[in-house]
Structure 1
C-alpha cells in the first residue's frame, strides 16, 4: 500500500486525490469485513438454533422419563477433557509452540 502511495506522490498527484483513494480502500475493506461479519452471524445463529432445539429435546426426554440422567460420568468426562486440554496447552507453551 505504501508503494502505491509513494508512486502517486512521485507522479505529483494532489493530497485530495490520495485522501480519496485512501477512503476508497477503507470502504472496500469495510465492505469485505461486513460480508465476513454477516457470515459469522449466520453461523452463530444456526449453531444457537441447533443448541436450543437439542436442549429442548433433551428436556422433553428427561421429563417424559425416557432418560435417566446421571451427571457423575458426564462431569468426570468434562473434567478429564479440561485437564487434557490444559495439559496440552501447558506442554505447547513449555516447548515454545
Structure 2
C-alpha cells in the first residue's frame, strides 16, 4: 500500500488524493477479508451441522443399546479412524515420491 502512496506523491498528488487512495485500498482489502470470512463461516456452519448430526445418531445408537459408551473403545476407534485417514490421505504423495525416485534412478 505504501508503494502506491509513494507513486501518488511522486506524481504530485497530495493530501486528499492520497487519503482517498488509502480509503479505496482499505475498502478493497476489507472486501477481500469479508469474502474469506464468509467462506470460513460457511465451512464452520457445515462442520457444526455434521457434528450435531453425528451426536444425534450416536445418542440414538446408545439409547437403543446398539453402542456401548465405553470411552476406551471409542478412543481406540477414533485413533484407528485417524490413522486410516492419514494413511489414505498421504498415499498419493507417497506414490508421487516413489515415481520421482524411480524416474531419477
Q: Same fold (TM over 0.5)?
A: yes
- Give the Å deviation of 1:73: 3.7
The CA deviation at 1:12 is: 1.2
Residue in 1 aligned with 2:38?
A: 38
The structure-2 alpha-carbon separation of the partners of 1:47 and 1:63, relative to structure 1 and needing over 3 Å to count, comes to same
Please report the RMSD computed on the Cα atoms of aligned residues, expressed in angstroms: 2.1
Larger RCO, structures 1/2 (Cα 8 Å, 6+ apart)? 2
Match of 2:102 in 1: none
| Structure 1 residue ranges without an equivalent (≥5) | 79-97
Query: How far 1:77 moved relative to its partner?
Result: 8.0
1:60-96: per-residue Cα shift (whole Å, max 9, x none)? 0010011122213445788xxxxxxxxxxxxxxxxxx
In the TM superposition, structure 1's runs of 4+ consecutive aligned residues that sit over 4 Å from their partners are: 75-78
TM-score (norm 1): 0.72
Alignment of 1:1-97 (within 5 A): 1-75=1-75
Q: Which runs of 5 or more residues in structure 2 are unaligned?
A: 79-105
Distance in 1 (alpha carbons) for counterparts of 2:68 and 2:4: 67
Structure 1's 48 and 69: CA in aligned 2 closer, same or farther, altered over 3 A?
Answer: same
Shift of 1:11: 1.6
Q: TM-score, normalised by structure 2?
A: 0.67
Alpha-carbon distance in 2 for matches of 1:8, 1:20: 11
